[in-house]
Chains A and B, each alone.
Chain A
Amino acid sequence: MLYREAGQFKTSYAADQQLFPIRQDRIGVLLLLAVAFVGVPLLASEYWFSAILIPFLIFALAALGLNILTGYAGQLSLGSAAFMAVGAYAAYNFQLRVEGIPVLLSFACAGLTAAGVGVLFGLPSLRIKGFYLAVATLAAQFFIVWCLTKFPWLSNNSSSGVISTQPIEILGLAVDTPREKYLLVLAVVALLALAAKNLVRSSTGRAWMAVRDMDVAASVIGIRLMPTKLLAFAVSSFYCGVAGALYAFCYLGSVEPDGFSLDMSFKILFMIIIGGVGSILGSFLGAAFILLLPIFLDVALPAAAGLFGLPFSSATVSHIQILVFGALIMFFLIVEPHGLARLWQIAKEKLRLWPFPH
């Protein structure tokens, strides 16, 4: 009843091709943005900002980057965390070495640096596919972390490569409380998500998906495989790079190369698998699932244990948390291999007919 497009007629191609063709979706997205930009800053506590919302947004951005590469262009990558590291260290060095560079510009430059590195490690994709390519991107993961530890110049000669980020100042305003940092991250993520959505609904995105679905046919209709794949690597690494810069500047404040480990790359990969491969929304849902579920279990398990009067030590809780987490991932993959985004889509299709399903 509520979610129904009956009576919404499209009379021009422009209307049919807009970002959210269904009116309810448009209203929903506007509401969501209003809540995120106005409601949340008024209500949320510092803990929420710095422990939940900021990391969620940053990982959603990284997942979005990986989704562009893996979900849309079909190139499997295990180097996302490394590209984030490139972004973090590049932003730090731009701030350090370029006199008076605005923070946002240094973030953009960090993204571009990561894009360049991404293209370099994307070159093998011209020859190899699938799992073999994943192994090639694994090289990026280890090589970049090694580089950042090995060359002290990159971390301004600090011991073991740890960097502490510079304070953020935008147009003379200091961004130092968690709330302000949240708003900065949110604005960057919202803009980049919009750009990603535009990319994937344009001929760039269609070229990526064509290469993903059948590369011979793609080249026969005139898509040049090499620039298309490398562009996917560049854009994807740009997103990961910006996410890395935000991770260092707005979330942790001080990072070390080993923090950007293979574990983190896998975490980002799981986000898009759980959220939905080839879906913008899925990147956000997956990030929320992977980051928030452990926090939720942390709170819920001891409470549940207390309810049944079971003596749980904190070690047991963390073990059970891992068990439940793994089981839930398997459950979701069996029930809906296309991820949470597909579940949402199915729910919407059901809602269109509800409450008269015939």
Chain B
Amino acid sequence: MTKHIGDVILDLQNISLRFGGVKALTDISFDVREHEIRAIIGPNGAGKSSMLNVINGVYHPQQGRILWRGAERRKMEPHMAARQSIARTFQNIALFKGMSVLDNIMTGRITKMKSTFLEHALWFGRARREELEHRRKVEEVIDFLEIQHIRKTPVGRLPYGLQKRVELGRALAAEPAMLLLDEPMAGMNVEEKQDMCRFILDVNDQFGTTIVLIEHDMGVVMDISDRVVVLDYGRKIGDGLPDEVKNNEEVIRAYLGAGH
């Protein structure tokens, strides 16, 4: 299977992020190409989640440049990243607990809705039409993730693995160009991991979505990612194809250990 990997879509140059005296990220540069699956690995506290938070605007690095589709990005708020077609899931599930699966995924399409609250109050014309159009899209996501049977269930009642899947659904509903996945397989059993891998590969394959992935399961990372970045104590210690990274001395010492 040959996959078409495009140009650089996201370019991070010399990113440094500090919280007071704590250096979370130090002078990190890497790029992400269109349609690829890019993994970020590293021990706990290496700055992986901070890196994702920088990409979608939750944290603002003190130094460095971020180029999105070739244009330099100014300081931005998270909702602006969403409007630039960057979606994400969280390490600790961040679903809207009080809402049903359907509503959670519908929320993912909020940037695409144009009707105003007055139209919503009257439930007339564009508001009603939009609800139906977006419902159709959302149902496609629900079909894709095979969660039809739970669409009306409040997410708080679902088991962990399904919640992770719903969260992926909410991110997918936005039809993002880039999807940031923060440990999508943490705490899953082998079967659930396989399902999740399949979904990630299918998303990448069918929709051409660029994926940036944080994951601790090295088997998964080496299998599905196109390129891997390795962080340790906020520094980049490795970058390249999975095989190159696997044999990198420093990466083995810092993270992988012997036996991989």
Contacts and interface: CB of A to CB of B under 8 A. Distances in A.
A330 B131 CA distance: 40
Contacts of B162: none
Interface stretch (B2-10, B106-114, B183-191, B244-252): B106-114
Interface in A6-37: 13-14, 16-17
Interface string B149-174: 00000000000000000000011001
B240 interface: no
Contacts of B170: 221
Interface in A206-255: 206-207, 209-210, 212-214, 216-225, 231, 235
Interface residues of B, number: 42
B120 interface: yes
- Judged by DSSP, the binding face of A is helix
Interface in B61-107: 77-79, 81-83, 87-88, 90, 94-99, 103, 106-107
Interface stretch (A102-110, A197-205, A287-295, A312-320): A197-205
A222 B135 contact: no
Contacts, number: 111
A235 B77 contact: no
A93 B240 CA distance: 72
A224 B132 CA distance: 23
A278 B109 CA distance: 22
A30 to B, nearest CB: 18
A195 interface: yes
A207 B109 CA distance: 11
A222 B83 contact: yes
Given A14-B132, A206-B99, A210-B96, A220 B81 contact: yes
B97 A219 contact: no
Given A206-B103, A220-B88, A223-B79, A214 B96 contact: yes
A214 B107 CA distance: 12
B110 A222 contact: yes
B1 interface: no
B88 A209 contact: no
B22 interface: no
A220 B94 CA distance: 10
Given A221-B174, A222-B82, A209 B99 contact: yes
Contacts of B117: 199, 202, 204, 231, 235
A203 B113 contact: yes
A222 B86 CA distance: 9
B258 interface: no
A260 to B, nearest CB: 26
B90 A223 contact: no
Nearest to A277: B98
A292 to B, nearest CB: 28
Contacts of B81: 220
Given A210-B96, A222-B174, A195 B121 contact: yes
Interface of B: 56, 58, 77-79, 81-83, 87-88, 90, 94-99, 103, 106-111, 113, 115, 117, 120-123, 127-128, 130-132, 135-136, 139, 170-171, 174
